[in-house]
Structure 1
């Protein structure tokens, strides 16, 4: 019987570059081609112009005293300056610390101190968040913090001017002191309890992951990639920026934060060939009234990731958006992020029922979480991955690193998966999300997929809630089509009876306008479970 193990064979070698060296090679090949477009301001950069501005930011940071190994925080929604800082810190060998734009004061203070951030580059404000005021409030409590530079202010202009006055040859000298295995990025992963952990990633980790994501999307210098997903997450800065720049493609920033109309307008105006998003973003784009009035014929591919894609959504993405080669990616921040990806020729069924096959140069396996033994194909277990993509570790937390990465350097993801005979992987949920009702193991994903077939349901999420008799019961949170008055638990039960096993039929139904989400568009089931206890008055259970 074949075991649930696969390795990614590839004739394309891994890149041994630093990010700065890889960008220089792209600039030399495609100097006059578009590299970056920011729709909100109308600003545009060719690769040559991008390289000049990256150097100016790098030298400006150096004038502030930033050296190799120093941590530089970036706290901002998507903008061109975010991209400049990403590549500038890489050229200096400084470690870029991505700070979630949704963070409040106590979270900002934690990250500034935990990473020991020396210099913070920040937007002055965004939406209702006054970043400058929050920084003023926590600054005195952060011992390592020396400099704060606010984007779009005289401070930023001064940094750029100082950098332009310096000799770029200095960066060439610095480049000779850097290696591909140096830490270059810290990304904080939201834990279910306590403070987040800082996944520490190297040039080698994220440059190669971006490159091979781009390879499997068949990117070249003709591609234009619309990136409405946040840069502070791997989806934006690795699968977006690094996938594009390692192939000479252009990054298009449609708006500072996701907006379905701005996204579609950017695709049409810039003739984008690729569009990124989580399923909820694609649902919003498909429901945008202006969709059918726009010429989106340039689209051929894109990436959907973050959570499983409903069948109907995938069909519409292919038919209405023309993304015939759209890829599904699966991974986590700790693995740079992508471990598996569908290929352009994969069937619709493969793209909605699986997360693809192992990425080039990586290994994956599915194990029994109790024994650690690799299970036979077709048997569920915990998904593990090993290879160039696995993080260096959690910043300054060796014990937590050892809990996640075993002695053989396998990353234990905590995700439940099944590998089929052809090596395709299906993610069936989180080990912690699995619902155990009266001794029956229930995987919410299966029920969610079934609920999408209900004519009135636009989106559905299933969670386990406490129950005195069975230990746990099922609760469905649903979003309904516009104009539908409501949906009772009894009506949903009638719809499910005879089509789902009785123990898989949700006992409770909660109709919502939207689900609690992270900034990256992932559903926060932890928060849903907490709210459900109050909604259903299950405190005693």
Structure 2
């Protein structure tokens, strides 16, 4: 592979910091925080040493549960310096999801902020680990989470039983450069360095194991397709816990010596203010974010002339939104990326020089050095251009596998190392792909992937519910919304609100069904399979969603 990055991420950052020491690396205008690459690398080294002092070793799993705070980015580049695996926890998770991820990932340490939106993280953690506030920091002992020993708080007023993030930096002062170098010498670019949880048809999230090599090279190639240089400045309003934030965002920047300018919590006004104040040349977002920015009442007040490129991805990009972004935000070289977490995540991308028509109607062609093919769902044979089948990908970006789930891994990565995405697509004769549907019936709501099986498994635990089917229905704002068709147990009665209330606080808000319908049965195939597409068609008619469709 040409120009492949074969160094571990920590060593790669050392090299970038040596090449561009005075370039802005990380900028938070509202906090007055501005690290040059030299300073950013130095703080990442300090934190890496602090982690060593805490007893974190190569291969240990460290979870982070936080929105886009500076400590997130620092941890993302400090953990690979010692070979620890960063486990990214969805900010919308509630108690049962948090417990599952901490347990399944064998996390020894959890970094967390105080709260996010309507969720008090400190209270939520106490629900999962009742003994947290009575424990000595670093000596947690909870039967259900045998690996978890340390909780580190990001922010002021550290709760009882936790360490503070700043104390990690202090601890690092006791560790010499030689000790850190000795650990770095043991690292390999094909070691797992990051784990992101993606739900699946099994109903339980799976930990996707990604390596230094996966992430650095995917970030580099995506940046190349946007013509990124050390002069670019990227506004990052998408969440870091997702590949969109921590690969298409931060990793794209660091591999090019570009400036990372995050927005802590998405707010269209803040994005516009940040772009203008920092003269950002690029901005990322899911379509709903771009719509909110373009439709903001103060939109016209802002000077966005510094913008050039960025990525609109996460769900199908409406053609009109893409055209408006090009025309009204000066994003003449905006691109779209298609991928999935298992491909760390980018598989295809449009190019800055592609005509707008291609950029709005396709998800581009294979990234440099990646292979893409479309196969027949029944036979597995490679299909010619213009035929619909499953999109498969192969190359440097494919994950190592799902953590502790070899059978699940074998279902998606075949003997020839092709990753089977489960997405239906058509490729044209020039290699440009259109995503046409999903084999797995995943719902994409505002860029969040929702797997019906996971919500179904949860609702099955309600004593009144006999059966439930979850499916997506069209929505103007979010692309899709969650709908539940519920069959009640004999003699039971239930309201729509009762179903929603049962979900609240237990599963992420975006997974709570917006629509609930009580039914006697489901449309079936001759072989007894439920036809969700028919449920969807019926719902579109009943709810008058034809226009959104």
Shorter-chain TM-score: which interval?
0.7 to 0.9
Q: Secondary structure at the match of 2:420?
A: strand
Pick from 413, 423, 446 the counterpart of residue 421 of structure 2: 413
Pick from 182, 187, 208 the counterpart of residue 196 of structure 2: 187
Query: Is 1:280 aligned to 2:311, yes or no?
Result: no
Q: Secondary structure at the match of 1:16?
A: coil
- Alpha-carbon distance in structure 2 between the residues aligned to 1:405 and 1:433: 19
Pick from 45, 49, 74 the counterpart of residue 59 of structure 1: 49
The alpha-carbon deviation at position 345 of structure 1 amounts to 0.8
The aligned residue for residue 455 of structure 1 is: none
Using CA pairs below 8 Å that are at least 6 residues apart, which structure has the higher relative contact order? 1
The alpha-carbon deviation at position 538 of structure 1 amounts to 6.9
Query: Is 1:531 aligned to 2:515, yes or no?
Result: yes
- Alpha-carbon distance in structure 2 between the residues aligned to 1:212 and 1:424: 17
The aligned residue for residue 467 of structure 1 is: none
- Alpha-carbon distance in structure 2 between the residues aligned to 1:538 and 1:319: 50
The aligned residue for residue 78 of structure 1 is: 68
The aligned residue for residue 136 of structure 2 is: none
Q: Secondary structure at the match of 1:330?
A: strand
Q: Secondary structure at the match of 1:326?
A: strand
1:128-527 matches, within 5 Å, as 128-139=118-129, 140=142, 141-153=144-156, 155-254=164-263, 256-433=264-441, 476-478=474-476
Kept in 1: contact 2:288–2:477 (CA 8 A): no
1:212-256 residue CA offsets vs partner (Å, 9 max, x unmatched): 1111111111110000001001111111111101111000012x2
- Alpha-carbon distance in structure 2 between the residues aligned to 1:146 and 1:432: 37
1:233-281 residue CA offsets vs partner (Å, 9 max, x unmatched): 1111111111101111000012x22111101110000000000001111
Kept in 2: contact 1:39–1:253 (CA 8 A): no
Q: Secondary structure at the match of 1:391?
A: coil
The aligned residue for residue 487 of structure 2 is: none
Kept in 2: contact 1:271–1:298 (CA 8 A): yes
- Structure 2 unmatched ranges of 5 or more: 130-141, 159-163, 453-470, 479-507, 524-549
Kept in 2: contact 1:185–1:202 (CA 8 A): yes
- Alpha-carbon distance in structure 2 between the residues aligned to 1:216 and 1:397: 33
The alpha-carbon deviation at position 174 of structure 1 amounts to 1.3
- The size of the alignment, in residue pairs, is 455
- Alpha-carbon distance in structure 1 between the residues aligned to 2:122 and 2:180: 30
The aligned residue for residue 519 of structure 1 is: none
The aligned residue for residue 98 of structure 1 is: 88
- Alpha-carbon distance in structure 1 between the residues aligned to 2:208 and 2:278: 34
- Alpha-carbon distance in structure 2 between the residues aligned to 1:369 and 1:244: 37
- Alpha-carbon distance in structure 2 between the residues aligned to 1:340 and 1:411: 13
The alpha-carbon deviation at position 532 of structure 1 amounts to 5.4
Alignment CA distance shift 1:228-1:475 (3 Å)? closer
Q: Secondary structure at the match of 2:239?
A: coil
- Alpha-carbon distance in structure 2 between the residues aligned to 1:150 and 1:301: 36
Kept in 2: contact 1:308–1:352 (CA 8 A): no
TM-score normalised by the chain length of structure 2: 0.79
Kept in 2: contact 1:304–1:326 (CA 8 A): yes
1:425-455 residue CA offsets vs partner (Å, 9 max, x unmatched): 1111112349xxxxxxxxx99xxxxxxxxxx
The alpha-carbon deviation at position 33 of structure 1 amounts to 1.2
Q: Secondary structure at the match of 1:239?
A: coil
- Structure 1 unmatched ranges of 5 or more: 1-9, 435-443, 446-458, 465-472, 481-521
The aligned residue for residue 124 of structure 1 is: 114
Alignment CA distance shift 1:415-1:168 (3 Å)? same
- Alpha-carbon distance in structure 2 between the residues aligned to 1:128 and 1:14: 43
